[in-house]
Chain A
């Protein structure tokens, strides 16, 4: 936030310097090192042109569809579960330990089970993304409910609010920024998971593109795929940041 206040002119010098430094270092390194190991800017640009006119959009699209499907399904389970756990003590105490444990299982460790259970097609990848999403969203939504400011509940109760009003007017709005924060982190993890999964078992997607390019030593292609990943991650993260700020999530704590 504090960065937003800076003027463009102030940023141009340090940013330009860094970018210039990086690119010259990159060019220099690629001339000294075998370009098969470390492609220079020109090689990467040619790879980009080749991929852009070819399969890049298709690979990106496949990965994005997998991520979004799993992410939406995971959130659809995680948000209500988090609301229930945050609001009803018995449910929280029943499930808290279990959810907390599952949260620490790296989703990619489930890949062998996912393939055995759901085959090598789309379903196993979507399952892995659901697994990456659901626990983080649950835990953060639950946090949002659990840390509702007590006086806000009391204030509406003193206006005649029943349990449903308390939920609708206080608990739900308080939980939204937390749920969004969970979703934002989950989205980052979903990118990691899908890339790994596609590298291991897939015939399409950005992860597949990376792995395929490695096997054929097309290092220029690898660079292009990495940049595409970075841009996608950046874009989705911004969307969530804007949403969180919109819903007043200044006090959100990452769990």
Chain B
């Protein structure tokens, strides 16, 4: 993720001298990650031999179940329901958070006024608010979307603020001395500098939002991947559970990589460090 120039590739780490180099070709083979996954599937198969499918489904049983779920619309509906909540909540939460974050970064007084709020709420896990969300919004869509909004808001606001704080003064001065006014400075320097931070905030908030939505759907919903997992428990359909878990992992990974790719593109190859504590 960082330039490898000044950093040690791991090959140099434990090799005391260059005389023990022959390890390298094995490690650099493109097949190695697949061997790793292969070993995992093998172990999974061996363990599953000892258990019934209702306790520990085998890889084959899982694949068969995945095929069954894909053949009817059920899996798509649940996935769609979860993703819809996630994206709606994320869009709303970010839309609220970005102006607040800019306000906090640009104006000292706003920052100081917001601090007690952010410092307090970011340590309350979103899922703990599910009880209020249910009381306030009922068990419909709005309670789940509310939780994601909450989740996204603090992470995105705090990372936006950090981005504004990290704008390089000399870049602003450069634009000013080229004849740019406040608006030019904002558009040409502040915004492009902050966008990668906003995206990093969104990326970090995304992982938590997945966890939140799954919990919320387990506790109170009749659709979504969390609901699918929890309802499968009643019929001991552990194969369905495993399919849903793997799907969640894949979706989370995909979302992370999309945000990373976007951030890198917009930041010229640089991925800013984020503050992951924002709720």
Contacts and interface: CB of A to CB of B under 8 A. Distances in A.
Interface stretch (B87-95, B169-177, B230-238): B230-238
Interface string A143-155: 0011111110100
A101 B109 CA distance: 42
A151 B8 CA distance: 8
Contact of B229 (A109, A252, A254): A109
A206 B128 CA distance: 9
Nearest to B54: A116
A94 B256 contact: no
Nearest to B31: A93
Given A18-B117, A101-B249, A192-B212, A117 B232 contact: no
A166 B232 CA distance: 51
A59 interface: no
Interface string A206-227: 1100110110010100100110
Contacts of B250: 101, 104
Nearest to B200: A254
Q: Interface size bucket, B side?
A: 35 or more
Interface string B246-278: 101111110010000000000000010111110
A104 B14 contact: no
Contacts of B277: 184-185, 188, 237
Given A196-B215, A252-B273, A105 B132 contact: no
Given A19-B116, A104-B207, A185-B276, A113 B238 contact: yes
A24 B33 CA distance: 58
Interface in A213-255: 213-214, 217, 219, 222, 225-226, 229-234, 237, 252-255
Nearest to B151: A192
B208 interface: yes
A255 B241 CA distance: 28
Given A89-B9, A147-B8, 6 more contacts: A104-B252, A109-B229, A112-B229, A145-B10, A163-B16, A206-B128
